[in-house]
Structure formats: C-alpha cells, structure tokens
Amino acid sequence: MSVNRRRFLVGAGASLVAGGLAVARGASSPALPPAAAPVAPAPPDLQDWAQVRDQFELTRDLVHLSTFFIAPHPRPVREAIDRYRRLIDADPFGVVERGLFGGPQENIPAKVKGEIAAYLGGSPEEIALTGNTTTGLALVYHGLAFGPGQEILTTLHDHYSHHESIRLAAERSGATSRKIGLFDRIDAISEDLIVDRIRRALTPRTRAVGITWVHSSTGLKLPIRRIAAAISEANAGRDEADRILLIVDGVHGLGAVDETVAEMGCDFFISGTHKWMLGPRGTGIIWGRQAGWSRMRPTIPTFDSLDPYEAWKRGESPAPPARAAWISPGGFHAYEHQWAVESAFRFHRQIGRKRIADRIRLLNDQCKEGLARLPQVKLYTPRDSRLSAGIVCFDVEGMKPEQVVHRLLDRRIVASTTPYGNPYARASGSIVNTPEEIDTFLRAVRALATS
C-alpha cells in the first residue's frame, strides 16, 4: 500500500472504535432513548480470586490442571475476539485495511504491541507478532546469519520445536549445533550448577545459546539473569558480529513468573501467548533487542512495515538494519485473534503480575509438598520456588505416566504427560484453580499410589 493511500484511509475512514462499531450495529438503527438504555453490569473485582475464576467458562465438573497446554479465554479475551469478528464480518475490507495500515489512531498491531510492551518492559518497536512459540523460534534461528565454523549451543532438556528450529537452521547455514546437560540428577540441581555448565560449554565458535526459561519436561526454571551475565562476560572483547546471542523460549514463564522480560538480559525472547498469558489461540510474540534485530534477515514478507513494500515498488531491497516489524510474518491472519492479544495482556496487568505469580507459586508449592509426602510418588520438579514455576512433574510407583493421567481423568481431573523421551505425569495449578482443587488432586494421587 502506498503512503498516499494510507493517508487517504486515515482521512476518509472513521476510527474502528467509533465507525466500526456503528457499522456492526447497523448505522441506520435509531439510538435507544435514555430510559430504555441497558444497564451495564458492574465490572468484576479482579482482586477476588473467585471473581477471576468466574471470568472463564471452564466446565466445573472437571479439575483443570493442564490449562498451561492451551488456555481457556477469559471473558475480556472472548469479548474482544467476538467484537473484532463482528466488525470484520460487517466490513471486511474497510476494517482490515484501516486496522493494518491506518494511522496512529487506527493501526491495531501498534496498539497491541503497545500493551505487550507495557507488560514486558522495553518498547513496542522491539516486538514482532507471530502465531506461536514454534513459529517464533524458527523465525529467529533462520533469520540469523550463521555460517560454517560457527556453533549454536543448546541443552538436552529443550522442547522438540526448539531443537528442530536449531537443527534445520544449522543444516541450511552450514553451522553446527551442540546439546549439553544442565544437570545429572534433578534432585541435585542448583543455580550455580546450571550457570557453570553453560559457562564451561561456551567456545570461540559459539554464536548463540538457546535455552528454555521453564522446562515443560520437569518444571525446572532456569536463572536467566545469571546465565545472561555469564554470557555477557564471555562476550567481553568480542566484535559485535561475533557476540554470543542468548535466545530464550519463554512460553512457560510468561504469565506465570513475576519478571520484566526486557530486563532479563536475553537478546531474543520467544513465546506463544495462548498458554499462561491466557491469550487468543494461535498468537505469539518475539521480543528482541535492537542490536539483535539488526543481525536478522526476514524469512517471511511482512505486512507490519511499509519500508520493505516501498523498497519493493522501487525495485530495491530495504535499507538495513532490520527491525522487529520486518520479522512479523505477513499474509492474512485470523485478525480477530491476533488483535485481541491486547486484551489478554491488559487482563494480566489489571490483576497484577506479582499477584498472579504468587497465586501460581502458592498452588504449585501446595501440589509439590503434597506429592513429596507420598512415599510411592517420585517428584521431579524442584521444590525450591527459585528453580520452578507452574509445572509439576511426577511418577507414581508401578504405573506408566499415561496410566496415571487416564486414572486421574476417571476421577474428573485433567492432567497430562510430558512429550519427551522419558515422559512423566504432569499437573499444574493456575489462576483458574483453587487450593481445594489441589487437595482433590492430591487425594486422587494418594488413592492411585495405594491402590
């Protein structure tokens, strides 16, 4: 789209908030007289956990201990999705054109990134919008200019999506990849051990370190700030092009841990927003430092910046350096979901990031302590909350993990297994749960272990 056309849309189109809603309602419909106007319900008290729980439409005859896998939408997210869907259905061309290419008052991706930045720290210009964690990881690793003689370092404990993004990028670039273990025994883990293992694995060939903030395999939470400090020490004296980048899969920490992402020390932070953030399904983000973005090459043409488009019209390549908006994948998306991401981050900020993290820690400490007291149960997640977050992994003696999960479901409790070579049973308390539900879960596991 040309700049002139964009200006035309800004001048001629009414704002989505005012004009779009009028279209959705029917512009010719007469306004209700004041006496007949509906009375808006009182807003929920989001400082009351019972009222927070009421924002979700989860069936109440199940104990949901796997909402971290793919989250239910709270009321504000459902309403935002429905509002955008109705607007687009009423005027698909006008709403999408204005929403994508409108000026500051109409550009919806800019508003979404502004709300995300308020939660993450940093600025909207440091954020790319994606569809999920897997897409974000692939965009980062394939966008960086690795080459022969260079190495991407990761760990044995990362997810399939992370390992495969690295493998595919290394194969295409001629770089190599290497995996290290961060511990020999999970019950002997410590922050010092984790940081030392990474520090000792760095070599002059290392150009990136890919790690996961909270492991979905064991529930282990890594000390990202300390790892970032160790990598910063290794970068001292290196040229910018040779500097080691720290790439973090943050999907099971974002929304569950009280942390300002922009201050953690990583270069790239990748996460879906449809897990702990409770965002619309099929949405995700990449946060990155500008120094990191400048080393990127886009993989998919973007619709989030006019610069590459204007350069294309001139028959040129866009002038470097690259920036976050160039990395957001273009093409048409489910905009009612992507644009409603803003409401999920606002919902978290209204409740309070620390309050949410404290609640999750309380419920999962209760879960870990209860499991640890059962002699027939082996707990794999560290009991120290500095080394764990919202995921709790365990085994029941004499039972395979999938048997445990099936038997729990017979008791109306939704748990899961870890999708790794050595699977465990897995459960997690979130803000949709209560201490009473954790007690119900513990009684059920005790019954399985003693049956």
pLDDT in tens, the chain (451 residues): 433 334 333 333 334 444 444 444 344 333 444 455 556 678 899 999 999 999 999 999 999 999 999 999 999 999 999 999 999 999 999 999 999 998 888 999 999 999 999 999 999 999 999 999 999 999 999 999 999 999 999 999 999 999 999 999 999 999 999 999 999 999 999 999 999 999 999 999 999 999 999 999 999 999 999 999 999 999 998 999 999 999 999 999 999 999 999 999 999 999 999 999 999 999 999 999 999 999 999 999 999 999 999 999 999 999 999 999 999 999 999 999 999 999 999 999 999 999 999 999 999 999 999 999 999 999 999 999 999 999 999 999 999 999 999 999 999 999 999 999 999 999 999 999 999 999 999 999 999 999 8
Contacts of 428 (CB under 8 A, 6+ apart): 65, 66, 67, 68, 364, 367, 390, 391, 392
Is residue 113 within 8 Å of residue 119, measured between CB atoms?
Answer: no
| 26 within some domain | no
Alpha helices in 211-340 (DSSP H): 224-235, 290-293, 306-313, 324-327, 335-338
Tokens 């004296």, residue?
A: 237
Q: Check which CATH number belongs to the domain holding 275 and give it.
A: 3.40.640.10
Burial of 98 (0-12, 13-18, 19+ CB in 10 A): buried
- Dihedral of CA atoms 201, 203, 205, 208 in degrees, nearest 10, equals 50
Kindly report the number of other CB atoms within 10 A of residue 340's CB atom.
26
pLDDT score at 172 = 96
Do residues 395 and 445 share a domain? yes
300-306 long-range contacts (CB < 8 A, ≥24 apart) are 300/139, 300/329, 300/330, 300/331, 301/330, 301/331, 302/326, 302/327, 302/328, 302/329, 302/330, 303/100, 303/328, 303/330, 303/331, 304/109, 304/128, 304/129, 304/328, 304/330, 306/1, 306/3, 306/6, 306/101
- Confidence at residue 42, expressed as pLDDT on a 0 to 100 scale: 80
Domain end: 300, 330, 360, which one? Answer: 330
**Beta carbons of 414 and 62 less than 8 angstroms apart:** yes
State the pairing for strand pair 392-396/425-427: antiparallel
Same domain, yes or no: 377 and 437? yes
* Residue 364 within a domain: yes
pLDDT at residue 99, rounded to an integer = 96
Query: Whole-angstrom Cα distance, residue 58 to residue 248?
Result: 31
380 and 315 in a common domain: no
393 and 322, same structural domain?
Answer: no
- Separation CA 269–CA 249 (nearest Å): 6
So what's the pLDDT on residue 30? Answer: 39
Domain annotation covers residue 21: no
Whether residue 341 is contained in a domain is answered as no
Q: What is the pLDDT of residue 6?
A: 41
**Residues 308 and 409 placed together within one structural domain of the fold:** no
Distance CA 415, CA 408 (A): 7
pLDDT at position 23, please? 40
Tell me whether strands 284-288 and 268-272 are parallel, antiparallel or unpaired.
antiparallel
Output the domain CATH number for residue 374. Answer: 3.90.1150.10
* Cα 165 to Cα 9: distance, rounded to the nearest angstrom: 39
Q: What is the pLDDT of residue 44?
A: 92
Is residue 240 domain-resident?
A: yes
Domain boundary among 296, 330, 364: 330
By C-alpha distance, which of 18, 19, 20 is closest to 89?
Answer: 20
Say yes or no: 304 and 439 in one domain.
no
Is residue 80 within 8 A of residue 342, CB to CB? The reply is yes
Chain position carrying tokens 């609640």: 359
Q: 3-state DSSP call for residue 106? A: coil
Measured CA distances, 321 to 102, 240, 326 (Å): 24, 14, 10
273 shares a domain with 417: no
Domain presence at residue 152: yes
Pair (251, 383) in one structural domain: no
| 377 shares a domain with 317 | no
**Do 257 and 314 sit in the same domain of this protein?**
yes
Residues 230 and 262 in one domain: yes
What's the domain range around 243?
112-330
Task: Report how far residue 188's alpha carbon sits from residue 211's, in angstroms, rounded to the nearest whole number.
Answer: 20
Q: Point out the domain boundary residue: 281, 296, 330.
A: 330
Count of domains in the chain?
A: 2
| Residues 413 and 280 occupy one common structural domain | no
- Residue 92, domain member (yes or no): no
Classify the C-alpha dihedral 195-290-135-357 as positive or negative: positive
Confirm whether 383 is domain-assigned.
Answer: yes
